[in-house]
Structure 1
Amino acid sequence: MAQNFKMLAKTLYGLEDVLATELRNLGAMKVETGVRGVFFEGDKGFMYKANLSLRTALKILKPIETFSVRDENDLYDKVFAMHWDKLMNVNTTFAIHATLSDAIFNHSQFVALKTKDAIVDKFRNTEGKRPNVDVKHPDISINIHIHKNRVTISLDSSGSSLHHRGYRTATNIAPINEVLAAGMLLLSGWDGQCDFMDPMCGSGTIPVEAAMIACNIPANINRKEFAFEKWADYDADLFEKIVESSLNKTREFYYKIYGYDKAPSAVMKANDNVKNANLSEYITIKQYNFFETYKPVDGKLHMVFNPPYGERLQIDIEAFYKAIGNTLKQQYADTNAWLITSNLESLKHVGLRPSRKIALFNGKLESRFVKYEMYAGSKKAKYQNN
């Protein structure tokens, strides 16, 4: 029977519970949330499946050693003492990424350098040769995390961040991270049971992620590679079976997904990305100005969008957000509308009371993800009819 081991899925602040739910639904054992990460247990096949399928994970790390350190020499000695020959050889290229949290060391680059020195010195001592560092495309990516004086050394099974899905070749100004887009959709309760709209879709990330959720398509099916494919114990047949099994669980989607943007360049890029993701039959991208168009369907509509914040795209915040509120009120009855903004003042100008507010980060910008429930008829009438 395959051996279970502990892993850590890293994510964005505010998405920890969403990721924990994803992991449980996928079959993970001993799921435990932390800050910007979720611990869980599974076997090698589950590690492959987690990389392929999780929508809100940035990395899947496999811890291989934990220990306490007193100072830099102690760190060097303990890294040197590890059995690196079981993981790599002198021809293996490697990279080290260090993160510190309230640690006894001040600089992550210093920690990475000390760790690198210990590894190459170990091989020099035993083999007379040293492996090379390759920061761009290493055979093995090593993650070292230090909290206070506690060191955890992990292998990064993902490689480049899992938000690099593989379908987005063209981006606009201020594109939204795919993991954040998927997290917002899952937080909003999007389940593919009605029509969907992103009225300011930019390069199409939110509509693509919405379609993948609706059809239960694995998040990273379009990715070119994962780091674990270069590991000595990589099982290509097992990974192929997991891909096949995941694709067998996709489902049909009977509604429509709309993406609008007023910029022709954005529409062109969005259409390219939708095509790259093989989702053209589900997603319609059009050049429309949200403030001049109307609801594309009768009945229920689920809306999620990322309007400009005035950070990288210059707009008149007050007039713009007031227009969002007016358009929702006048044109979008029977719609659950969610938007994210880092301009917290802007929400005062929408003129609608949000029914939910969730704290998230868009990059380094503290943001709010808010829900506006637009009713057909008055709110009072809605509750009288129930």
Structure 2
Amino acid sequence: MNKYFAICPRGLEELLLDELRGVGGEDLQAVHGGVFFAGDWSTCYRANLESRIATRILWHIVKGPYVKEEDIYRLAVRQLWPNHFTVTNTMRVVTTAIKCPLKSLDFVTLRVKDAVCDRFREDLGDRPNIETRNPDVSVHVFLTENECTLYLDTSGQPLWQRGFRKASVDAPLKENLAAGILKLTGWQPGTPLIDPMCGSGTFLLEAVQMALDRAPGLDRTFSFERLKSFEAMNWAHIRAAAEARVKPAEPLDIRGYDSDERAVRATRRNLQESGFGGVVTVDHGDVLETQPLTDHGILVANPPYGERIGEQDELAAFYPQLGTALKRHWAGWNCFFFTADLRLPKLVGLKPSRKTPLFNGPLECRLFEIRMVSGSNRKG
């Protein structure tokens, strides 16, 4: 049984825990920014393939106390790195820390890199090459105030990189954050879904994959495929099982609109290149004019908070108009707005029934739920 740590956007830890339980994870423990879990290699492979929420899955190698950099070097040099990957694999070291008293994390990174290379030299007479941009293998160092944990990354490129979104407009949401937001809305396939400010279509792409039961990692490779422990037959079976359960792509009641023609073109291109061209309807439309075709459903939007429409004073003028449009057109719908602009509910003039704190990278945000009660607020 291996131990792992799955990283995710802050605020989505409990959703990730549920996902990991679903792929066989045991001894699950959610902490800020991720979930500890245990499992065999099948669990690791399935977590990478199936998780919509995780950013990456790290395999726990060792944990030990430290006072100074040389303690970390000694911990790292004692590990049998040549048992985990070959000398021909390129590698890098990534260091993160919370309340670490050491002066330079760059120096820690350098000492761990030296330790791994020294171990290879001692055992094999040769050392792996360093590649910082796109290495075969990444060693992750995590430091607390007095403990160092060493991991090997099993994911490679971040898991939010599904391999789909080729075209994008300004500052798109990462796919795993969009997937988490969709889960927080309670949306289920079969329920009408509209994103009236769809940008490059991230919410739409994630919703389609959920509706078709399509594992988000089917179109990409993973770092675990380069580890010596890789079980190729096991992975082939897991992947084939995931491919076999994908539902046929048929038109769904999922719609996207944007007032920017470039965004509409980008979304259509992304859906087309992902094989979902005929599944989702995407049209040019202003959020203030857009109207639903059904009397209930989920509206989800990531409105601008300073960039796309304008600065703070322009948004302050836009929000009351948005409130009027919601009252006029969206009775019976559950409306969700993900934003870093905490003025939104007050300026929209509608009281949120729920406020969920989330982080978009370092940026603190909220997911506001505004229930538009059927039969009230409707104007001619």
Q: TM-score, normalised by structure 1?
A: 0.92
**Quick check: 235-244 or 354-363, which moved more?**
235-244
Match of 2:76 in 1: 79
Query: Which residue number in structure 2 is paired with residue 54 of structure 1?
Result: 51
Matched, 1:246 2:242: yes
Q: Which amino acid aligns with 1:135?
A: T
Are 2:184 and 1:187 aligned?
yes
Deviation at 1:313, TM superposition (A): 4.8
Q: Is 2:293 aligned against 1:304?
A: no
Query: Equivalent of 1:355, from 349, 353, 356?
Result: 353
**Are the counterparts in 2 of residues 337 and 374 from structure 1 also a CA contact under 8 Å?**
yes
Q: CA deviation at 1:196?
A: 0.5
Aligned twin of 1:333? 331
Aligned-pair CA distance for 1:60: 0.4
Structure 1 runs of 4+ with >4 Å offset: 251-255
Letter matched to residue 234 of structure 2: L
Deviation per CA, 1:55-108: give whole Å up to 9, x if none: 000000110111111211121122112112212343221111111111232432
**Counterpart in the other structure of 2:376:** 378
What one-letter code is carried by the residue in structure 2 that aligns with 1:10? I
User: In structure 1, how many angstroms separate the alpha carbons of the residues matched to 2:315 and 2:103?
Assistant: 39
Where in structure 2 are the equivalents of 1:86-125 lying within 5 Å?
Answer: 86-125=83-122
Equivalenced residues, count? 374
Structure 1 unaligned spans of 5+: 380-386
The equivalent position to 1:233 in structure 2, one of 216, 229, 243, is 229
Give the structure 2 partner of residue 382 of structure 1. Answer: none
How far, CA to CA, are the matches of 2:143 and 2:263 in structure 1?
42
- Tell me the amino acid that sits aligned with residue 369 of structure 1: L
Alignment of 1:32-71 (within 5 A): 32-71=29-68
CA distance in 2, matches of 1:255, 1:332: 20
Q: Give the aligned residue type for 2:235.
A: F
Return the match for 1:163 from 160, 164, 169. 160
- For residue 290 of structure 1, report the CA deviation from its aligned partner: 1.5
Rounded Cα–Cα distance in structure 2 between residues aligned with 1:143 and 1:323: 48
Distance 1:102 1:149 in 2: 9
The question of 1:133 aligning with 2:118 is answered no
Q: Distance in 2 between matches of 1:76 and 1:96?
A: 13
Is the contact between residue 46 and residue 238 of structure 2 (CA under 8 Å) also seen in structure 1? yes
The answer (yes or no) to whether the contact 1:174–1:312 under 8 Å persists in 2 is no
Unaligned segments of structure 2, at least 5 residues: none
Shift of 1:27: 2.7
TM-score, normalized by length of structure 2? 0.94
Equivalent pair of 2:306/2:315 in contact (CA under 8 Å): yes
SS of 1:291's equivalent in the other structure is coil
Q: Residue 167 and residue 190 in structure 1: after superposition, are their counterparts in 2 closer, same or farther (change >3 A)?
A: same
CA RMSD of aligned residues (A): 1.7
**CA deviation after TM superposition for structure 1 residue 129, in Å:** 2.7
The CA deviation string for residues 124-175 of structure 1, in whole angstroms up to 9 with x for no partner, is 3343332211112222111111111211111100011111110011110121
Amino acid in the other structure paired with 1:329 = K
**Separation in structure 2 between the aligned mates of residue 91 and residue 27 of structure 1, nearest angstrom:** 32
CA shift digits 1:177-233 (9 cap, x unpaired): 11110010011111113111000000000111111122221122222x111111122
Report the Cα distance in structure 2 between the residues aligned to 1:174 and 1:47, rounded to whole angstroms: 31
The aligned counterpart of 2:365 is 367
Q: Which of 156-165 and 340-349 deviates more?
A: 340-349
Distance between the aligned counterparts of 2:252 and 2:88, measured in 1? 52
What letter corresponds to residue 189 of structure 1 in structure 2? G
1:146-295 alignment to 2 at 5 Å? 146-223=143-220, 225-251=221-247, 255-295=252-292
Q: Distance in 1 between matches of 2:308 and 2:121?
A: 49
| Alpha-carbon distance between aligned partners in 1 of 2:321 and 2:219, rounded to the nearest angstrom | 37
